[in-house]
Structure 1
Amino acid sequence: MGMIANYQYLPDDKLKQIKLLSNEEDDLLDLAEDYAEEYEIFLDIDKMWDALVFVLTGFSSSEFLDDNPLREAVLGVTPLEDVSEYIAYTEKNKISKIVEALESFDMDRAMTDFSMEACKKADLYPDIWDYLEEEEEIKDDILACFVKMKDFYKEILNHKGNVLVTIC
């Protein structure tokens, strides 16, 4: 088991509930699970979230980048404080900027420049960067996560929704 990133559609009324419960972790995780069952707009990129942030921005998820829509696509805009699991949300007024950034990102070039050694030096999660024989598979996984994320955010934009991000 590891830290898996999930993204889900969040209507306005559910976002209000999340904000009200922002420091009640058990209730938040229960709500997130309930919402995932209630709404079918959902994305799971498994453990590739840190690598995806790195490929998109050149920085790991632990490094703060102010107002970067590519980073926000993966990690959300507003992380909740005082919870042990990572939970963040992105309000609908930020979604079009994220879609635009994802659409204009040159993922083919980023994959050409991809380096397992750079991922290892950046100490990215998960710790798979010594498995050089699996580099093509890892690159394919990162690319697939990117494509799914782009499609997910387009669907969120079409539904005029917010996004809930959980990494646990």
Structure 2
Amino acid sequence: MGLRANYQYLSDKDLVALKKFDNEDDIFETVEDWNDEAEILLDIDKNWDLLHYMLTGVSASDPIWEDPLSEAVVGVTSIEKIEDFIAYINKDRVSDILKALEDFDMESALESFSLEEGKEAELYPDIWDYDDEEEEIKEDLLDCFERMKEFYKEILEADGNVLVTIY
């Protein structure tokens, strides 16, 4: 199975509720319900760490404070004291994130990337010994990037917040 990343529309009301949770079981049950009912949803499967690396040059385990490209993948504010990763992005950051994504040249970044680089950076998931699948991996990553841009565009149009889950 592995760690999968999901991004979804989060209403102002649900954001207030998220900030008030103090029980880990309650938060996961509620987040799963929100995921089932999400108006706008993006699932990039296991590509979150590689996507973060392509956008920032570092693994998602080392997010970059106030970097909209890093925030696009791992959110802005994480929920502390829980085992899995849940974070959110307030609507006032969405336009900056979208602009940064639109200005980023993923095709050029992918041209200079090799699976050996991913292996050396110890990025998740461990797919770095599949040299015969390098083009497929890059195509999948480009697709995730394009879908992420579209997701943030939809969130901006809906004047929404974003919920990020990686588990």
TM-score range with shorter-chain normalisation?
Answer: over 0.9
Deviations 1:21-46 (A, max 9, x none): 1x422111111111122232001000
* Secondary structure at 1:114 match in 2: coil
Unaligned runs of 5+ in 1: none
* Letter aligned with residue 120 of structure 1: K
Q: Return the alpha-carbon distance in structure 1 between the equivalents of residues 48 and 11 of structure 2.
A: 23
Q: Return the alpha-carbon distance in structure 1 between the equivalents of residues 63 and 47 of structure 2.
A: 18
* Secondary structure at 2:86 match in 1: strand
Q: Return the alpha-carbon distance in structure 2 between the equivalents of residues 97 and 62 of structure 1.
A: 22
Within 5 Å, give how 1:1-168 maps onto structure 2: 1-21=1-21, 23-168=22-167
Q: Return the alpha-carbon distance in structure 1 between the equivalents of residues 28 and 8 of structure 2.
A: 13
Q: How many residues matched?
A: 167
Q: Return the alpha-carbon distance in structure 2 between the equivalents of residues 30 and 153 of structure 1.
A: 25
Moved over 4 A (4+): none
* Secondary structure at 2:81 match in 1: coil
Q: Give me the TM-score of the superposition, normalised by structure 1.
A: 0.97
Unaligned runs of 5+ in 2: none
* Secondary structure at 2:42 match in 1: strand
- Say whether the 8 Å CA contact 2:63–2:70 is kept in structure 1: no
Q: Give me the TM-score of the superposition, normalised by structure 2.
A: 0.97
* Letter aligned with residue 14 of structure 1: D
Stretch moving more, 29-38 or 51-60 = 29-38
Q: Return the alpha-carbon distance in structure 2 between the equivalents of residues 63 and 12 of structure 1.
A: 28
Percent identity of equivalent pairs: 55
- Aligned-residue CA RMSD (Å): 0.8
* Letter aligned with residue 75 of structure 1: V
